[in-house]
A = this chain, B = another copy of it.
Amino acid sequence: MAVEGTAAPRVTRRRVRTRANLLDAAFAVFAAKGFGRVSIEEVCEAAGYSRGAFYSNFDSLDELFFALYRQRADLIAEQVAGALAQDGPDLDVQASVDRVTEVLLLDVDWLLVKTDFLVRAARAPEVAQTLLEHRERLRQVVADRLARAAGGTALPAVLGGADGAARAVVAAYDGVTVQLLLDKDVEHARSWLKQLLTALLTDGSGTREQ
C-alpha cells in the first residue's frame, strides 16, 4: 500500500527515463553554448523529444537548470568525500591533495556549467543559498580531513585552523578554475592546484628562496 498522504501520482517508468534524458542533453547543451544562449527547443532537440515532453517534466529552463545543478553537484560531493575518506586516519595530506585534485578538475564541462550557475546565483539569493550549501558541504568534508591529519602535519596558523584552511582550499579551487576556463589546459591546472594547495596547507619552513 502506498503510504503517501496525497493521491498516488502513479510513478511511471517512462517519465523517469525522459527526465533523465532531458537532464543529460541539457548538460551537454549548456556546456557547449552557455545557459544564457540556450532555448528550450535546443535542449529538447538534443534529447530527441519535442517541447511537449519538456513542459510535461519542467516548468521552465530555470527549473531544469536548478535540478541539473543539484544532481551533478551531489555527485561531485560524493566523489570528493570518497577520495578523502578512503585513506587511513593519519596518512599524509599530500596524497589526499593529489587525489582530490584529480576529482575536482576532472571535467571542464562541469566547470563551465557550474560557473553559469554561479552567475545566476549571484543575482538570485534563493539560488545562491543552494550553491552556498553545496560549498559548505564540500568545505566540511575537507575540514574534517584536515583536522584528522592535523596531528601529523602542521597548518599555517594564519588561516585559523582546519576550518580556515578548508576555506582556503575551496578558494584555491575556484581560483584555478577561472584560469582553466580561459586557457583550457587541464593538466597545467591540476599541477598548479596541487602546488597551491601544498603552499597553503604546509608552511614553507626550510624551503624559502634566497
- Name A's B-contacting residues (CB within 8 A): 32-37, 112, 115-116, 118-123, 128, 131-132, 135, 150-151, 154-161, 164, 167-168, 170-179, 181-183, 192, 195-196, 198-200, 202-205, 207-210
Once the chains are docked, how many angstroms separate the CA of A3 from the CA of B116? Answer: 46
Asked whether B207 lies within 8 Å of A205 as measured between CB atoms, the reply is no
Known: A128-B182, A175-B172, A179-B171. A208 touches B119 (CB 8 A): no
Asked whether A132 lies within 8 Å of B171 as measured between CB atoms, the reply is no
* Contact partner, A116, options B119, B128, B183, Cβ 8 Å: B119
Most buried by B among A178, A207, A208: A178
* Contact partner, A171, options B154, B172, B207, B208, Cβ 8 Å: B172
Which DSSP category, helix, strand, loop or mixed, fits chain A's interface?
Answer: helix
* Contact partner, A36, options B37, B118, B150, B170, Cβ 8 Å: B37
* Contact partner, A209, options B115, B155, B178, Cβ 8 Å: B155
* Contact partner, A207, options B37, B158, B178, B209, Cβ 8 Å: B158
Asked whether B34 lies within 8 Å of A35 as measured between CB atoms, the reply is no
Copy number in the complex reads 2
Once the chains are docked, how many angstroms separate the CA of A34 from the CA of B120? Answer: 8
Within 8 Å CB of A173, what residues of B? 175
* Contact partner, A168, options B33, B35, B196, Cβ 8 Å: B196
A93 to chain B, nearest CB (A): 13
A208 to chain B, nearest CB (A): 4
Once the chains are docked, how many angstroms separate the CA of A194 from the CA of B141? Answer: 25
Once the chains are docked, how many angstroms separate the CA of A68 from the CA of B36? Answer: 19
Within 8 Å CB of A135, what residues of B? 179, 182
Which residue in chain B gives the minimum CB-CB distance to A179?
A: B171
Once the chains are docked, how many angstroms separate the CA of A62 from the CA of B157? Answer: 46
Asked whether B122 lies within 8 Å of A158 as measured between CB atoms, the reply is no
